[in-house]
Amino acid sequence: MGGPSVGTATALWRAALGGPPLVGSEPVPVPDAAGRVTAGPVLARLSAPAVPCSAMDGIAVTAADTAGGTVAADGFEVVDTGDPIPPGRDAVVMREHLRRRPDGTVGLPGPVPAGQHVRPVGEAVRAGAEVVPAGRVLRPADLAAAATGGLRTVEVRRRPVVTVVPTGDEVRPLGADLGPGELLDTNSIMLAATLRAWGADVRVTGIQPDLPERIRDTVRSAARDSDLVLVLAGSSAGRDDHTAGVVRGLGSVVVHGVAIRPGHPVLLGTLHGAGGRVVVPVVGVPGYPAAAALSVELFALPLLADLQGRNPERRPSVPARLCGAVPSRPGVEEYVLVALPGDGTAVPLSRGAGSQSALARADAVLRIDAGCAGHEAGDAVLVQPVDQPGWAGAGPVAEGGGRLAV
């Protein structure tokens, strides 16, 4: 199995793309911005609180007047949590600590320090301060921080447009009655969902037959208004595999075949975009489901992250002990799907590139380095959960081919 490594293939492709450049930005209302990527630092417009406020229900006092552990009847004001501190007062005593007396005075536990139970100006956020960094995928707490800082909208990267072009004479749309040798277009469903979870605006074309001119016209049209084009199936070397020829005619093939398993036939290239001036990345995605999923994870998702200026994210690793042997061919970087039954073990699943059921059953993935010949049953390894997009593109899960030293 020839071809460059994942790292080399990525470097060659990115060099051919010349970047790629960041997508533009747009203002989005704060309540609608979850999951979007900040285009720059989000700065507070207002301080919160804007004036000193009470942090407790009780009375506001002047600290200097509490040395004797008592305040006069006219020496305090009743306040509730969040109320502004009245002028001349600089501390708050909790309601449950007060001893009210018949003469109107109030007994305290003791002298009160200035600032007690008082929220100072800007305690939550100060005007002009950064409340969310650039490149952050906005979380619910980030939206609350932006709103606290007085913002109604945040500037975020627009969603990169990804066009998915399914191909194949034997491929049929969801809901079709299948004849002998026909397949449902499940890859489009799986990959579109993955891409949307990574912030993309995904457009799926109709299924194109194995006719070079039909595929060429569809890909050419997609390149005019897309930031990334995926051509599904047809990236291998069979008689009906036309992706390489189509891409070569519309741009250039940078890499065809990578030393990975599954996904070896993946194609990385460039297309001429609007007016022929824009370079648009294209991925020829292998047709087998596991190979398709891995190709998108390794190459398309990191590109989408860079288009949006997303900060790098390191995926967590989980230690586990293999229940079975996992041999691997040296020189090939391999990704093995595993189930995690919850007892600290990892159960290797079917390694067939066409196993859709293994993808659905997988809890994690074991990466085997190209220099490793695999693992024996009982080996301690590190695996990465697959409960969110990006599991494969996060880099090595362990040094030395994934073996965990114990």
pTM of the predicted model over 0.95 = no
Per-residue pLDDT at 237: 63
Residues of the chain with CATH 2.40.340.10: 318-394
Per-residue pLDDT at 19: 80
Confidence of residue 278 (pLDDT cuts 50, 70, 90): confident
Residues of the chain with CATH 3.40.980.10: 6-23+159-308
Whether the pLDDT of residue 392 is over 70: the answer is no
Average pLDDT over residues 382-390: 76
**Helix, strand, coil percentages, rounded to 5, for the chain:** 25, 30, 50
pLDDT in tens, 356-381: 788 889 999 999 999 898 999 999 99
Contact present, 162 and 200 (Cβ < 8 Å): yes
- Lowest average pLDDT, out of 25-29, 234-238, 291-295, 400-404, goes to 400-404
Q: Is 25-48+123-157 a domain of CATH 3.40.718.10?
A: no
Nearest 5°: CA angle at 187, between 135 and 369?
A: 65
Percent of the chain with pLDDT over 70: 92
Average pLDDT over residues 165-172: 95
Q: How far apart are CA 392 and CA 108, in angstroms?
A: 62
Relative to beta strand 260-261, strand 183-184 is unpaired
Phi, psi of 42 (to 5 degrees): -95, 115
Average pLDDT over residues 94-98: 96
Per-residue pLDDT at 240: 62
The type of residue at 309 is G
Residues of the chain with CATH 2.170.190.11: 53-119
**CB atoms near residue 92 (< 10 Å):** 28
Confidence of residue 393 (pLDDT cuts 50, 70, 90): very low
Give the residue among 328, 367, 321 at the shortest CA–CA distance from 347.
321
pLDDT in tens, 105-138: 999 999 999 999 999 999 999 999 999 999 999 9
Per-residue pLDDT at 162: 98
Whether the pLDDT of residue 343 is over 50: the answer is yes
Whether the pLDDT of residue 317 is over 80: the answer is yes
The type of residue at 89 is R
Q: Which CATH architecture has domain 318-394?
A: Beta Barrel (2.40)
Per-residue pLDDT at 170: 93
User: Domain 6-23+159-308 falls in which CATH fold?
Assistant: Molybdenum Cofactor Biosythetic Enzyme; Chain A (3.40.980)
Contact present, 111 and 67 (Cβ < 8 Å): yes
Per-residue pLDDT at 354: 56
Reported as half-sphere exposure (CB side, CA atoms, 13 A), residue 146 has a value of: 27
Q: Is 53-119 a domain of CATH 2.170.190.11?
A: yes
Residue 346 CB partners (closer than 8 Å, separation 6+): 320, 321, 322, 323, 338, 339, 340, 364, 366, 381, 383
Name the β-bridge partners of 27.
155
Does residue 228 or residue 371 have the better pLDDT?
A: 228
Exposed/middle/buried for 246, CB within 10 Å: 0-12, 13-18, 19+? buried
Relative to beta strand 228-232, strand 279-285 is parallel
Confidence of residue 389 (pLDDT cuts 50, 70, 90): low
pLDDT in tens, 205-226: 999 999 999 999 999 999 999 9
Residues of the chain with CATH 3.90.105.10: 25-48+123-157
